[in-house]
Amino acid sequence: MKAYAVLFVCMGNICRSPTAHGVFRHRLVEGGLADRVRVDSAGTHGYHAGRPPDERSQEHAAQRGYDLSDLRARQLLPRDFEQHDLVLVMDHENFRHARELCLPGQLHKLRRFTEFCQQHKAQVVPDPYYEGAQGFEEVLDLVEDACTGLLQHVQTQLRQG
């Protein structure tokens, strides 16, 4: 059986998308779905390719029980749209960049991650890079919320199979 594949995307793949990657991976393990769902993350820009997530992202995630230390930044590629069932982008600007790379017939896979939020009404997950600790906490609040809705969506997709 082919694994369902989810890709999280932000600009540099060092703050928001690896946070979402780590949180969702954790939720999949807790839910017993880690063997049925593949998770990855990428950036629309290759500024930080090969680097681990921002230390502040790792620190704030670790305080909530998520380990991001094994993740490494990479750039979004056109083939990602073929290899993933969902490509979830953090904000409008990166949605535009991702759409430019999207292969014909794959646009239905590209969505804003915040569409899955259950509690928050946010349109985007804001970039915390130039913010203080509160920015990283806000990212985690939004990511945890959206991961709850995403997990429900993925479970439905797996049942429909």
Could you tell me which residues are beta bridge partners of residue 110? 87
Distance between CA atoms of 139 and 127, rounded to whole angstroms?
8
5 pLDDT tier (thresholds 50, 70, 90): very high
> Do 154 and 6 contact (CB within 8 A), yes or no?
yes
User: What is the per-residue pLDDT for 102?
Assistant: 95
| pLDDT, tens only, 106-118 | 999 999 999 999 9
161, pLDDT greater than 80? no
Q: What is the mean pLDDT of residues 21-35?
A: 97
pTM of the entire predicted model? 0.97
- The residues that are catalytic are 10, 16, 127
Domains belonging to the chain, first-starting first, are 4-160 (3.40.50.2300)
Burial class (CB in 10 A: 0-12, 13-18, 19+), 133: exposed
Distance between CA atoms of 134 and 148, rounded to whole angstroms?
21
Burial class (CB in 10 A: 0-12, 13-18, 19+), 148: middle
| pLDDT, the chain, mean | 96
| pLDDT, tens only, 129-149 | 998 999 999 999 999 999 999
Q: What is the mean pLDDT of residues 27-37?
A: 97
